Structures are given as structure tokens and as C-alpha cells.
Amino acid sequence: MTYSIEARDLRLDYRGSPALRGIDFRLAGGGIYGLIGRNGSGKTSLLSLVASLAKPTAGTLLVDGEDPFENPRIMPDVCLVQDRIKDSGDEIWKVGSFLRTAAALRPRWDQEYADRLVDLFELPRRKRISSLSLGKRSALNIIVGLASRAPVTIFDEAYVGLDAPSRYAFYDEVLADYMAHPRTVIMSSHLVEEVDSLFEEVLILDEGRLLVHEDTDDLRSRGVSLTGPAQAVDDLRHGLTVLNEQVLGGTKSITVYGDLDEDALSRARAAGVEAGPVRLQDLFVHLTRKDRR
């Protein structure tokens, strides 16, 4: 089961300060979506609205066509997993008790899958959460997210405490379980280079505004690095957004964002200019640079 998510002129203020400034998007559902942005860009604010932890200041948010806030049909089917166990008192629970409570709250919980994940991440069931390392706490959180099988499952930096082997095990589980049990998965992460291969679509937030919402492959194709004789590179930049520029002697290298057609690429090669791909992480860094806002 998958749910769509739609925002129309969505706004959220905290004590008079805007956290989200009129966001519009639609996620059709049944995909793995990447939500990326610098610290303070509004990622957690947006996800808290989807998870009914807050009510929008203005605008509309719909999950499966309905307002999710205090909605008894939608709320149990949205699972937000954050980077640590934040609720006061939860850290004194034992791992096993915490998972049993999560199972009681999630109508689609898969206990067999949860047990397998506990073994995979080597979680001690009888230990108190307060005694766990940061990595084990992160593992406990992502087990809740995966085993919930919620139609909307959100991982908000939930796995940053894991070591590299455990993170890659988590990425494998997300993809495998999504293929076996399709749902709407949203992943917010600073580790863009590690997870971008999972994303079908990417949303980039910057200072509370939606900067980009595109198919991941289309977004990558819009970023091109051009390196060659300075004059030849300058001749190709017209009509494109230059995100970054470096000069060394008579050689110039620029990163551009826009539609560079095959004719332009042919002219680039003929002029001795080398065109290369740009990683999604580099596009994100350049698009959200302070001097570009």
C-alpha cells in the first residue's frame, strides 16, 4: 500500500519566524524520495507536518488525499524515524520492550522481519536503550521504520550514527524491502553521495523554499562540468546557470546547470572542451551556496 503526498502553498512559522515559505509539490507515492538541504533549510519541519507532529500555519498538506493532522486513519500509517530517541523516558526502556511497544502502535508491523533486523544489527534485546552506543540506538530506530511497513515511512537522518558497514546494510534493506513491499519512503540525509542511487526523485530545500523537485536522473543530466580553453568555455556558457568556476592559466573549468543539448556538446568537443558529469552532491552544494541564494 502506498500513499501520495501533496503540498500547496505550505507554510510553517515558529514564533513568527518562517520555517517553510510557500512550498508546492506532489509525490505520487510508491517510490523512494530524497529530501536534502543544508542545516536549517526546513527538512525536519516539513517531515514533522507529514507525520502530524505539527499543524501548518497556512496552505494545504494532504496524505492519501486527506489532511493528516489528528487524522485517525492516516496517523498510524505514517512512521517518522529520527536520528535518536528523543522522548523523555524512552531511553530507560529495554530494547525488547521498546520494540514490543512499537509493534502495538503499528498496525502493519512485521515481527518476523523485526527479529531478523535485530539479529542483522546485533542489538541486545535485554539492554536498556540508555546503555546503547549511538550506532545501536540508530539501528533500533531504523528497525522500527523498516518493520513498521507503514505506507509512508520517513527516515530523517535516522542512520547517521551507524558505521559504514551498517549504513550500507541499511541501504540494502531499504531497497530490498521496498521492492518486496512497495510504499512511500522519504529519506533525509547529509550523506547524499551514499544514498542518491536509491532516490527516484529529489527535493532540495533551501531556507524554507523548495529549490528543486525533479526526477533524479533528469537532475543529474542538468549538471555538466566544462573544462578547456577559457574562451571556448565562455562561448558555451550563455543561457546556462554557472554554479562554479575555476581558472588555471588559459584553462577554465565551470560547472553549469541547465539544458545542454547534443549540438552544444558537439561544439564543445570540436573546440577542445571536455564535458563531464556532475555528482548529485556537488549539484546540491553549488545550488545552495550562500552567494547563489
Q: Per-residue pLDDT tens for 83-123?
A: 765 554 566 789 999 999 999 999 999 999 999 999 999 99
More confident residue, 285 or 103: 103
Write down the pLDDT at residue 81: 93
Domain ranges of the chain: 5-207, 219-292
Note the pLDDT tens digit of each residue in 231-273: 888 888 877 888 889 998 889 999 888 877 788 778 888 888 8
May I ask the CATH class of domain 5-207?
alpha beta
Rounded to an integer, what distance in angstroms lies between the CA atom of residue 14 and that of residue 46? 12
pLDDT, mean of residues 61-80: 96
Q: What is the mean pLDDT of residues 49-72?
A: 96
Q: Does position 204 have pLDDT exceeding 60, yes or no?
A: yes
Could you tell me the end-to-end alpha-carbon distance of the chain, in angstroms, rounded to an integer? 38
Instruction: Indicate whether 201 pLDDT > 90.
Output: yes
* Burial 104-121, CB ≥16 within 10 A → b, else e: eebeebbeebbeebbeeb
Cα–Cα distances in angstroms (integers) from residue 88 to residues 82, 91, 93, 130, 253, in the given order: 14, 7, 11, 11, 52
- In this prediction, residue 88 carries a pLDDT of 47
pLDDT cut 70: percent of the chain above it: 96
Mean pLDDT score of the chain: 90
Q: Could you write out the DSSP letters of every residue in the chain?
A: ----EEEEEEEEEETTEEEEEEEEEEE-SSSEEEEEE-TTSSHHHHHHHHTTSS--SEEEEEETTB--TT-TTTGGGEEEE-SS--STTGGGSBHHHHHHHHHHH-TT--HHHHHHHHHHTT--TTSBGGGS-HHHHHHHHHHHHHHH--SEEEEESTTTTS-HHHHHHHHHHHHHHHHHS--EEEEE-S-HHHHGGG-SEEEEEETTEEEEEEEHHHHHHHEEEEEEEHHHHHHH-TTSEEEEEEEETTEEEEEEES---HHHHHHHHHTT-EEEE--HHHHHHHHT-GGG-
146 in the Ramachandran plot: left (φ > 0), alpha (ψ -120 to 50) or beta? Answer: alpha
Span 86-96, pLDDT tens digits: 554 566 789 99
Please indicate whether residue 159 or residue 56 has the higher confidence score (pLDDT): 56
Beta strands at 32-37 and 201-206: parallel, antiparallel or unpaired = parallel
Q: Quick one: pLDDT band at residue 213, thresholds 50, 70, 90?
A: very high
Q: Is the pLDDT of residue 44 over 70?
A: yes
Of the listed ranges 24-28, 41-45, 269-273, the one predicted with least confidence: 269-273
Q: Name the percent of the chain lying above pLDDT 90.
A: 63
- Closest residue by Cα to residue 161 from 87, 85, 84: 84
User: For residue 66, how many other CB atoms are within 10 A of its CB?
Assistant: 12
Between 240 and 35, where is the model more confident? 35
What is the pLDDT, as a whole number, of residue 293? 54
Instruction: Label residue 287 by pLDDT band (50, 70, 90).
Output: confident
C-alpha distances in angstroms, 102 versus 96, 135, 185, 241? 10, 19, 18, 47
Categorize the per-residue pLDDT at 23 as very low, low, confident or very high, splitting at 50, 70 and 90.
very high
Q: Comparing C-alpha atoms, which of 258, 292, 250 is closest to residue 275?
A: 258
Domain 219-292 in CATH 3.30.70.100? The answer is: no
Distance in angstroms (rounded) separating the CA atoms of residues 11 and 7:
9
Does residue 282 have a pLDDT over 90? no
